[in-house]
Structure 1
Amino acid sequence: MNAFQDNKSSTGNEKSTPDLNPPPYSEASQNPPPPFQQNHPTPAGYRPPIFPPLFGVYTSGYRHLSLALHKDSRPFLSLETHSGFSGKPSMILSNGTSTLATADFHSLSSKTDLSVGTFNCVMQSDGMFTANYPFEYIHDDGSREVFAWKRSHGAEVQSLRGAYHGYKLVRVKNGQVVAAWTKPGGPSVDKVGKIALMERGLGERWEVTAVMGALALLEKERQKRNNGVSAGTAVAFST
Structure 2
Amino acid sequence: MDHLQPPNSNNNNPEDDPPPPYEEVAPPNSPRPGLATQGLPRPHSSHNPDLLNPSPSHSSIPQLPSRRPRSSSHLSPYPGQAAQAQRPARTPQPNRPSTSYPGNTNAGPPSIPRQFPPAFNVYLQGFSRTMILAENQAQPIYALRAYSGFAGDASLILHSGPTERHPPLATLDFAPFSLGIVVTLPPSPIPGVPSALSLDPITGFAHGGYSFTIDVGTSVSPGSSGRWPLEEFQWRRSRGDAVASLGGRGYGWKLVRLAGGPPPGADQQWRRAGLAAGAHRGSDGAEVVAVWSEMGYSMSKALRFAFLGMGLTGLLGERWAIMAVMTAMGLFERERRSRQRRRF
Sort the TM-score into its range (normalised by shorter chain): 0.7 to 0.9
Q: TM-score with structure 2 length normalisation? A: 0.51
Match of 1:218? Answer: 332
Match of 2:48? Answer: 45
1:62 aligned counterpart, secondary structure: coil
Match of 2:256? Answer: 170
Establish whether residue 121 from structure 1 lines up as the match of residue 232 from structure 2: no
1:76 aligned counterpart, secondary structure: strand
Q: Deviations over 1:155-193 (max 9, x none)?
A: 11011010121000001234111000000133x322211
Measure, in 2, the Cα distance between the counterparts of 1:85 and 1:205: 27
For 1:196, give the aligned amino acid: A
Q: 1:59 to 1:185 in 2, by over 3 A?
A: closer
Match of 1:227? Answer: 341
2:136 pairs, out of 55, 61, 70, with 70
Residue 219 of structure 1: CA displacement?
0.6
Measure, in 2, the Cα distance between the counterparts of 1:86 and 1:132: 29
2:120 pairs, out of 27, 30, 55, with 55
| Higher RCO (C-alpha under 8 Å, 6+ residues apart) | 2
Match of 1:183? Answer: 294
1:89 aligned counterpart, secondary structure: coil
Q: Deviations over 1:69-115 (max 9, x none)?
A: 123x2210001111132311111001242211111002331100011
The correspondence of residues 12-51 of structure 1 with structure 2, limited to 5 A, is: 45-46=48-49, 47=52, 48=99, 49-51=114-116
Structure 1 window deviating more from structure 2 (59-68 vs 119-128): it is 119-128
1:149 pairs, out of 235, 238, 248, with 235
Establish whether residue 91 from structure 1 lines up as the match of residue 156 from structure 2: yes
2:201 aligned counterpart, secondary structure: coil
2:343 aligned counterpart, secondary structure: helix
For 1:102, give the aligned amino acid: T
Q: TM-score with structure 1 length normalisation? A: 0.72
Q: 1:66 to 1:86 in 2, by over 3 A?
A: farther
Residue 138 of structure 1: CA displacement?
1.8
Measure, in 1, the Cα distance between the counterparts of 2:256 and 2:147: 29
1:108 pairs, out of 158, 172, 177, with 177
Answer yes or no: is the 8 Å Cα contact 1:164–1:185 preserved in 2.
no
- Larger proportion of strand: 1
Match of 1:197? Answer: 307
For 1:99, give the aligned amino acid: P
Answer yes or no: is the 8 Å Cα contact 1:161–1:185 preserved in 2.
no
For 1:132, give the aligned amino acid: G
Larger CA Rg, structure 1 vs 2: 1
1:107 aligned counterpart, secondary structure: coil
| Superposed CA RMSD | 1.8
Answer yes or no: is the 8 Å Cα contact 1:91–1:102 preserved in 2.
yes
For 2:237, give the aligned amino acid: R
Question: Unaligned 5+ residue runs, structure 2?
Answer: 1-46, 53-98, 100-113, 188-194, 223-227, 261-285
Measure, in 1, the Cα distance between the counterparts of 2:144 and 2:234: 23
